[in-house]
Structure 1
Amino acid sequence: MTRAPSTQGRGLLYRLYSSRLRREIEARTVPHHVAMMIDGNRRWARQLGYTTVSHGHRAGAAKMHEFLRWCDELGIQVVSLYLLSSDNLVKRDSQELTDLIEIIADLAETLSHEPGWRVKHVGRAEVLPPELASSLRTVEERTRENTGLHVNLAVAYGGRGEIVDAVRSIIAKHNDKGGSLEELAESLTPEQIGEHLYTGGQPDPDLVIRTSGEQRLSDFLLWQSAHSEFYFVEALGPDLREVDFLRAIRDFGDRDRRFGS
């Protein structure tokens, strides 16, 4: 497991360390697509004594906005954020879920005003509360023509469900053309499934980062991350620092990617 450096604060030592990391990254490969699993928001709120975990979710959302700016500054072109899983919609208590819905809508709205950024919802819009689904549609439409940083917001998302939806889409399209099941079985390829995922047409993530020390995928981008590199950070989501992020990028640049070989 990768641990954050002990340097704290934003003083001279921090700035020097950050500058050194940036110089080291310049000589390495920067990932095209980074996926982020922000975890630990609830623990962060409880450790600080907040009465509700919504304080942690708001702090986590603010950190994700900051994280996206770090990515944009380094020239990363696509970032996927795991904000709300399909399981969260049924497992979280009603007040926490209500707060999360508001926080996610606010974050999406804020990101849509970043110059050049394109924001896309990935997940099942039909299971979301109508007001959040509408907000995500509005943001997606507003930023559709932008060509800068592409931000995927995984909301009401589940990797297994995404694969099921992709296969259903392929079957429906094949059926509309009058094809048989035998023909479909013979023609089905991994590339075809990839084209029908929520992220169809996008590059797969090169690097997946997860905060809070947890080391599991939690049903995030299961298909797309088949050959991704993984980096686990001890810091809770709202405590993630830019140097933690830069260390992840430096580490990625040092790895010998074998793509399953």
Structure 2
Amino acid sequence: MRQVIMDTETTGIDPKDGHRIVEIGAVEMINRRFTGRTYHQYINPERHIDAEVVAIHGIDNEKVANEPVFAQIADEFWAFIEGAELVIHNAPFDVGFIDHELGLLNKTRGGAPLGPVRQHCRVLDTLTMARAMHPGQRNSLDALCKRYDIDNGHRVLHGALLDSEILADVYLAMTGGQTALTLDAETSSEEQEDNSTSEGLSVQRLALTPGQLRVIRPTDEERAAHQAKCQAHQLNWFKESSNDA
């Protein structure tokens, strides 16, 4: 299975307010192995970048003034992601911005329109996955790095390619199996009391090979409800990410 783990940085939090993408980063995996292929591009958003988001990702107007606009990189970017399963943390945010950019272009490739993303790619939201696995806990990318003991000490500011690489490690840790603490079924209760050490207690790792992990897809109604909730809480999420940086 081909997966593309990706992230974007933007001029603000809502494309409906005219905000645009300023950076895209992505890494490719096939059958849970990195291929070495990456995609990274800064983009001139053709508008002002809000100061509060510059403080988060460090990309100001001067930095992207001479970068290509989205229309100039759309074909190359689309060729990289088309047909893959996209793994994104808070996917409605990034997919919403990509669909907005593609909508502004109204461009086709091979006779077919570019986008919407979900018509050409499967999308896996690791934020939704993390909230299901760790309810009531912080599930920002930094929080997950800490929970899964993944080094992100080199992450000072948010950056699309760096965040994609970190997310790939988090995703592999989240889906690579789990540790189960179980009592030996054949050990009697008396033996369990007498052998409170490892004799009656074992740690087993449940190994999963590619294709074994069951993925339950949401219904259209569940997806719509989730997206509406994400949009309502987008600003709070963005502020949380800033605090975690």
TM-score over 0.5 (shorter chain): no
Could you state the TM-score of these two structures normalised by the residue count of structure 2?
0.26
TM-score, normalization by structure 1: 0.25
Relative to its length, the structure with more helix (as a share) is: 1
Structure with the higher fraction of residues in strand conformation: 2
The higher relative CO (CA closer than 8 Å, separation ≥ 6) is in 1
Report which of the two structures shows the higher radius of gyration computed on alpha carbons. Answer: 2
